[in-house]
């Protein structure tokens, strides 16, 4: 998506937000602000799905009411990030 802005720009605003919600960076989803960081965020979500063996769009933690990203953040803050890794890995 970062290809949408010119060579001398480091960020751009879009008139409409398109894409899969679970992979959009927060600044793009809320403000239409797109940058290279947006692509890095999307790639990070993809890597998190691969490592955890869970799909971002279908994961929901009933205990905390969080999606995969929120659940991963809680595990990171609690020092329990290894619990997120798929046992098949």
Which CATH architecture does the domain made up of 2-84 adopt? Answer: Orthogonal Bundle (1.10)
Other CB atoms within a 10 A radius of the CB of residue 76 amount to 11
φ/ψ of 12, rounded to 5, equals -150, 160
* Model confidence, pTM: 0.64
Q: In order along the chain (89 residues), what is the average pLDDT of each group of 10 residues?
A: 52 59 72 76 88 79 72 90 88
d(CA 25, CA 38): 5
Other CB atoms within a 10 A radius of the CB of residue 51 amount to 14
The confidence score (pLDDT) of residue 78 equals 94
């Amino acid at each position: 998506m970062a290809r949408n802005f010119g060579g001398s720009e480091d960020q751009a605003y879009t008139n409409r937000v398109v894409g899969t919600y679970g992979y959009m960076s927060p600044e793009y989803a809320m403000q239409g602000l797109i940058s290279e960081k947006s692509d890095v965020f999307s790639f990070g979500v993809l890597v998190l799905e691969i490592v955890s063996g869970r799909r971002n769009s279908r994961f929901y933690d009933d205990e905390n009411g969080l999606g995969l990203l929120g659940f991963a953040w809680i595990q990171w803050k609690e020092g329990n990030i290894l619990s997120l890794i798929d046992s098949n890995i």
